[in-house]
Amino acid sequence: MPEGSALIPLIGLGTLQLRGRVCVDTVEQALRLGYRHIDTAEGYENERDVGEGLRASGVQRADIFVTTKISPSHFAPRELERAAKDGLMRLRLSEVDLLLLHWPNPQVPLPETLEALCKVKRAGLTRHIGVSNFEVADIVEAVRHASEPLVCNQIAMNSFVDRPKLTAACRAHHMAVVAYCPIARGEANNDAVLKRIGQAYGKSGAQVSLRWLVQQGISVIPRTSRIERLSENYSIFDFELSEAEMSEISSIARRRSRLATVMSPLRAFALKTLPAPATSVLRIGYRMLQRVICG
């Protein structure tokens, strides 16, 4: 493992849209079942509930890998430090394991944001730092300006969306890849190819999609609000896809990913050149597109 890298558990629980009692109970149950990695974000408005779930589980803090993310609206250096502290206060933790920049924000110079993020790490608010939704060019720029190792890029990946160039760039810069939307918002369970492959192992399409990712060394953070699905999504370490099955899934994924490959540079260019009100509209549009890509 290169210096500065983080040991990120291969499976974690995503918590987008989980709030209140459902969030507390799901986090608690996931940890009781064996999950050791929980993903949240300032923007999910559930850090308090996630923190309560962590404590309710009875699992030792040192055994859990907690990731949270700073919203792009807080990337100005002072705001970033404040946002990091507020996140810890809501989680009721003294530090998180991984703190990410949630999305690139071209309205704030990246070197300033990174310097603030590195400072927050040196102050002991997080064990590791990283990014999310960064494209290849963003990564190259980020690594150039960061005075602390960036250990991860969290990106949308599933059996419909493959990002070989991006994952290669992450690896070249010693960054782990964490896949969000790893079961394409449940769509993986309806896919004929995944279902057929899964049948041979007694596994669902969702489990095959997760297995395809972890078998490439990519961490996955599927979200569910249903306790029975927590165990389903976790049971992906007792079978192995053959090389032919891995390639078949990759070929489906690559076909659909072309859309993302075309859209990303266009989005980056527009965010850099358009005035602020237009970029807000664009950001919303891109998120809607991301939903389509995720499934």
Ligand X SMILES: NC(=O)c1ccc[n+]([C@@H]2O[C@H](COP(=O)([O-])OP(=O)(O)OC[C@H]3O[C@@H](n4cnc5c(N)ncnc54)[C@H](OP(=O)(O)O)[C@@H]3O)[C@@H](O)[C@H]2O)c1
Residues that bind ligand X (CB under 6 A): 14-16, 39, 102, 132-133, 154, 180-186, 189, 204, 206, 221-226, 229, 232-233, 294
Which position among 44, 180, 201, 234 bears the catalytic label?
Answer: 44
Give the whole-angstrom CA distance, residue 120 versus residue 22: 31
Q: Which amino acid is it at 113?
A: T
Q: Answer for the pair 102, 41: CB distance below 8 angstroms, yes or no.
A: yes
| Smallest gap from residue 177 Cβ to ligand X (A) | 12
Nearer to ligand X, 123 or 291 (CB): 291
Nearer to ligand X, 167 or 233 (CB): 233
In the residue annotation, 44 being an active-site residue is answered as yes
Hey, how many other C-beta atoms are within 10 angstroms of the C-beta on 169? Answer: 21
Give the whole-angstrom CA distance, residue 203 versus residue 196: 9
In which region does residue 45 sit, left (phi positive, over 0), alpha (psi from -120 to 50) or beta (all else)? left
| Smallest gap from residue 127 Cβ to ligand X (A) | 19
* C-beta nearest to ligand X: residue: 14
**Secondary structure (DSSP) of 123-174:** TTSEEEEEEES--HHHHHHHHHH-SS-EEEEEEE-BTTB--HHHHHHHHHTT
| Smallest gap from residue 277 Cβ to ligand X (A) | 22
Q: Residues 1, 6, 163, 225: is their CA dihedral positive or negative?
A: positive
Nearer to ligand X, 111 or 186 (CB): 186
Give the whole-angstrom CA distance, residue 88 versus residue 95: 7
| Smallest gap from residue 41 Cβ to ligand X (A) | 7
Nearer to ligand X, 78 or 294 (CB): 294
| Smallest gap from residue 137 Cβ to ligand X (A) | 18
Nearer to ligand X, 170 or 181 (CB): 181
Positions marked catalytic = 44
